[in-house]
Amino acid sequence: MLTREAIVTAAVALADAEGLAAVSIRRVAAELGARAMTLYSYIERKEDLLALMLDEISAEVLVEEPLPADWRAALLLLAGREREVVRRHPWRVELISQRVAVGPNGLRHVEQKLAAFDGLGVDALTAWRFLATFNDYMTGFVIREAMERGAPRERGINEAERTAVAEPYIRELIDGGEFPRLAPMIEQGLQGADDNFERGLTWVLDGIAGGLPGDGGGPAGR
């Protein structure tokens, strides 16, 4: 039976298999054995389909409530879930820059992250600033990780950096000592450089903790 839910499920499966560029009303209709005009009875535009797809996978980020009582544990849990979703659906990264409308599940995810700050004695503006910092780290990390899926890092060095070193003029600059700090990292690699998700997130949370009232970090929002 053709339903909006079936259309969204088919679109998500198509994006997972072939990437977001493969998704169109016509292609999804073909996957469902239906005519494209029939799908327009359920979904008016491709932009609406993308928004529904985003909200569908946003449900996978939600965690069972109540959240852990410790705010750091709660954010680490949510961050891990968010990273897993992008790994399953790497096309989520493409939607970040497309200003796709946020749906109910996306708002529930934001609500859960804000709930982690309950009881910390901060006002709404400070909680939102904390959340923005957390989100900025998460967005940057998952975008880089998704971009490197096809060319994973080896000892901290990605394929683009390795290719650059092979260029004669870059090789000459390195051999000439112009990059004394960077050169050993590129040539020898850095053991453990890729194991940085939770470590980097911990540093972000340490910074947030320093902004909490009574934690030695001065007034929140300073």
More confident residue, 217 or 163: 163
Question: What are the C-alpha distances in Å from 158 to residues 14, 88, 145, 169, 189?
Answer: 28, 21, 11, 19, 10
Cα(152)–Cα(189) distance, rounded to whole angstroms?
13
CATH number of 37's domain:
1.10.10.60
Alpha-carbon Rg of the chain, whole angstroms?
Answer: 22
Take residue 68 and report the two structure tokens written for it: 């852990």
Asked if residue 112 is part of any domain, the answer here is no
**Upper half-sphere CA count for residue 92 (Cβ side, 13 Å):** 27
> 67 Cβ partners below 8 Å, 6+ apart?
74, 77, 78, 112, 115, 116
Host domain of residue 182: 159-188
Question: What are the C-alpha distances in Å from 92 to residues 31, 54, 66?
Answer: 21, 7, 26
Asked if residue 37 is part of any domain, the answer here is yes
Question: What are the C-alpha distances in Å from 79 to residues 18, 85, 105, 194, 219?
Answer: 26, 10, 16, 17, 26
Structure confidence at residue 218 as a pLDDT band (50, 70, 90): very low
Q: Which of 8-12, 99-103, 126-130 has the lowest mean pLDDT?
A: 99-103
Asked if residue 1 is part of any domain, the answer here is yes
Asked if residue 110 is part of any domain, the answer here is no
Structure confidence at residue 167 as a pLDDT band (50, 70, 90): low
More confident residue, 28 or 183: 28
Is pLDDT of 160 > 90? no
Is pLDDT of 212 > 90? yes
> What is the pLDDT of the chain when averaged over all its residues?
86
Is 57:12 a contact under the CB 8 Å cutoff? Answer: yes
Is pLDDT of 193 > 80? no
Cα(57)–Cα(52) distance, rounded to whole angstroms?
9
Domain count of the fold of the chain: 2
Cα(218)–Cα(216) distance, rounded to whole angstroms?
6
Asked if residue 133 is part of any domain, the answer here is no
Structure confidence at residue 169 as a pLDDT band (50, 70, 90): confident
Indicate whether this model's pTM tops 0.85. no
Asked if residue 165 is part of any domain, the answer here is yes
Asked if residue 83 is part of any domain, the answer here is no
Give the number of other CB atoms < 10 A from CB of residue 6. 14
